[in-house]
Structure 1
Amino acid sequence: MSHTAHIPSHRKPRRSASKLAVRAGVAGGVLSTLAMAGTASASPSAEPVAETTLEMPVLNLDLGADVSTAVTVAAENTRLAAVEGELTAQEESARTGAAAEAKKAKEEAQKKADAEKADAEKAEKTAKEEAARKAEAERSSRSSSERTTLKSAAAPQGSGTVSAPATGSAAAIVNFARAQVGKAYVMGGTGPSSFDCSGLVQAAYRQAGISLPRMSQAQSSAGTSVSLSALQPGDILYWGSRGSAYHVAIYVGGGKFVGAQNPSTGIVERNLSYDKPTGAVRVL
């Protein structure tokens, strides 16, 4: 519908071609009648002519106005059609632009959503990896703790746990051994300034009035064999097989021993874990 369809027109309606033709015919007839009347009055007549009055039909001929009106209406219609066409083009352009903007916005929203999804997946993967690392660390720590607990519960060799300090002969042996810490290790030494491993054990037991063989092999066979989980201060520790040990030392309690280790370290006090013994014997 035209944008001006609702506007009433105040211009004269356009006359049809048939009406114009009828009017033209009537006018022509009237003019012919007038011409004939003029001719008759001009010729002489024997008889007087009566004077006749003719009434002229009133003609409302406004052909110029009708043409002007038609041209104006046509021009107005053309202008309105042009305006309507321009509006239609603008609407179409607006629709096209809106569609392009909507498409662009949709593409940007999709890119943003894809980026956010990728970031979320990456964060989730990182969180899972971190959780897996923590879980693995906890498992390792728990396993280590469980191993330590089981080791303590089973009192494995070298634990050296004691329930009471050394007393009596055991105290004499332990005190003497500790008093030699820092002295030199000399092969075949029996004191008082230097010792080898079996010379130190023999000298310590002498403080308790007990005579031991000189060599480590024989010392590892003395007394009664005891478990490393039930050691008491004064017990003799040995490395190697019982009866053929290559090294001996004295357990002093608290999971420690005193021994003449080698020329580089001399006589030292160490934890059992420093050099785990093979077995132990109890002479007291």
Structure 2
Amino acid sequence: MSHTAHIPSHRKPRRSASKLAVRAGVAGGVLSTLAMAGTASASPAEPKTESTLEMPVLNMDLAAEVSSAVTTAAENTRLAAVEGELTAQEESARTGAAAEAKQAKEEAQKAAEKKAKEEADRKAEAERAARDSERTTLRTASASDSGSGSGSAKAPQGTGTVTAPATGSAAAIVNFARAQVGKAYVMGGTGPSSFDCSGLVQAAYRQAGISLPRMSQAQSSAGTSVSLSALQPGDILYWGSKGNAYHVAVYVGGGKFVGAQNPSTGIVERSLSYDKPTGAVRVL
């Protein structure tokens, strides 16, 4: 081979000046960018803004609030006490009113019973007076006939009644009953100055040491029933039904009885024909 033949060179080909300039410019730009980035990263970070929750401001006086609460509690306690006292007074008033109403009712009932008895007594007295008026002529004629036959008037007697004089306990009962004739009739009276019908019978039997019930209803059920045609002195006469009699008296013999009739007549001795009783009982 000729020494002038072309032999490839192992050296790198030279770059042109223009390419080097371009490359130098690019490198410079990169370095400049990196420098700026470094500067930016080296600069201190801005502080972060933190949000804070603001608490509400308590705009009140604690001492004043406590004082107000205490005052309110005290007032509520006072009102409760007043309300309790009013309730107690109302309950007491209701209790008192109920007691007064009960007492008034009892008094009214007693007054009604008293009025009813007095009305019954007045009615019975009026009926007896009417019958007595109708029998006046017959009694007068009977007394005249008896007087002309014996020289003295005899008391009219019930048909079949026993006329033997009272003795023993019966005498004590009869004598006491007759001793009360003329005294006043007072409802509920038991002596010694006034009696009602059952009070007189009870007091008369007490003279013989016998205790009788107070009311006429119970007295009419005492002892043994006897016929009005077989009466003996000291027997208890009753008007009405047995066990529910409204009037009682003491048979004193001779066809007569002694009884506390009513306020207008008082205690009297009358013939059985004056007001015939319904029945009789014997305790002796």
1:175 Cα deviation after fit: 0.1
One of 118, 121, 127 as aligned partner of 1:129: 118
Number of the residue aligned with 1:263 = 263
1:161 Cα deviation after fit: 2.0
After superposition, the C-alpha distances for 1:133-188 in whole angstroms (9 at most, x for unaligned) are 9999999999x999999999999994362141100000000000000000000000
CA distance in 1, matches of 2:69, 2:12: 9
CA distance in 1, matches of 2:115, 2:2: 66
CA distance in 2, matches of 1:229, 1:188: 31
After superposition, the C-alpha distances for 1:87-129 in whole angstroms (9 at most, x for unaligned) are 999999999999999999999999999xxxxxxxxxx999999
State whether residues 220 and 245 of structure 1, in contact with CA within 8 Å, keep that contact through their aligned partners in structure 2: yes
| 1:108 and 2:96 are equivalent in the alignment | no
CA distance in 2, matches of 1:2, 1:98: 162
With 267-276 and 150-159 compared, the bigger mean Cα shift is at: 150-159
State whether residues 161 and 255 of structure 1, in contact with CA within 8 Å, keep that contact through their aligned partners in structure 2: yes
Number of the residue aligned with 1:166 = 166
Which residues of structure 2 form unaligned runs of 5+? 140-151
CA distance in 1, matches of 2:98, 2:13: 45
CA distance in 1, matches of 2:88, 2:257: 105
1:6 Cα deviation after fit: 286
1:275 Cα deviation after fit: 0.7
The normalised TM-score by structure 1 is: 0.45
CA distance in 2, matches of 1:73, 1:6: 123
CA distance in 1, matches of 2:133, 2:117: 25
1:256 Cα deviation after fit: 0.2
Relative distance call for 1:3 and 1:96 in structure 2 (3 A) is: farther
State whether residues 237 and 249 of structure 2, in contact with CA within 8 Å, keep that contact through their aligned partners in structure 1: yes
CA distance in 2, matches of 1:93, 1:5: 152
Relative distance call for 1:70 and 1:112 in structure 2 (3 A) is: same
After superposition, the C-alpha distances for 1:235-274 in whole angstroms (9 at most, x for unaligned) are 0000000000000000000000000000000000000011
State whether residues 158 and 272 of structure 2, in contact with CA within 8 Å, keep that contact through their aligned partners in structure 1: yes
Relative distance call for 1:99 and 1:155 in structure 2 (3 A) is: closer
Equivalent residue of 2:70, what SS? helix
CA distance in 1, matches of 2:260, 2:108: 80
State whether residues 236 and 248 of structure 1, in contact with CA within 8 Å, keep that contact through their aligned partners in structure 2: yes
Equivalent residue of 2:10, what SS? coil
1:25 Cα deviation after fit: 282
Relative distance call for 1:172 and 1:237 in structure 2 (3 A) is: same
Taking every aligned residue pair, what percent have the same amino acid on both sides? 92
State whether residues 163 and 254 of structure 2, in contact with CA within 8 Å, keep that contact through their aligned partners in structure 1: no
With 183-192 and 157-166 compared, the bigger mean Cα shift is at: 157-166
Relative distance call for 1:111 and 1:30 in structure 2 (3 A) is: farther
CA distance in 2, matches of 1:39, 1:252: 156
Which residues of structure 1 form unaligned runs of 5+? 114-123
With 248-257 and 52-61 compared, the bigger mean Cα shift is at: 52-61
Relative distance call for 1:274 and 1:2 in structure 2 (3 A) is: farther
With 161-170 and 6-15 compared, the bigger mean Cα shift is at: 6-15
State whether residues 220 and 238 of structure 2, in contact with CA within 8 Å, keep that contact through their aligned partners in structure 1: yes
State whether residues 235 and 251 of structure 2, in contact with CA within 8 Å, keep that contact through their aligned partners in structure 1: yes
The normalised TM-score by structure 2 is: 0.45
1:211 Cα deviation after fit: 0.1
CA distance in 2, matches of 1:112, 1:5: 176
CA distance in 2, matches of 1:203, 1:98: 40
CA distance in 2, matches of 1:70, 1:4: 124
| 1:7 and 2:20 are equivalent in the alignment | no
1:43 Cα deviation after fit: 291
With 75-84 and 160-169 compared, the bigger mean Cα shift is at: 75-84
CA distance in 1, matches of 2:274, 2:17: 133
Relative distance call for 1:54 and 1:129 in structure 2 (3 A) is: closer
After superposition, the C-alpha distances for 1:4-52 in whole angstroms (9 at most, x for unaligned) are 99999999999999999999999999999999999999999x9999999
State whether residues 14 and 69 of structure 1, in contact with CA within 8 Å, keep that contact through their aligned partners in structure 2: no
One of 126, 146, 154 as aligned partner of 2:134: 146
State whether residues 14 and 70 of structure 1, in contact with CA within 8 Å, keep that contact through their aligned partners in structure 2: no
Relative distance call for 1:102 and 1:139 in structure 2 (3 A) is: closer
Relative distance call for 1:5 and 1:138 in structure 2 (3 A) is: farther
State whether residues 217 and 245 of structure 1, in contact with CA within 8 Å, keep that contact through their aligned partners in structure 2: yes
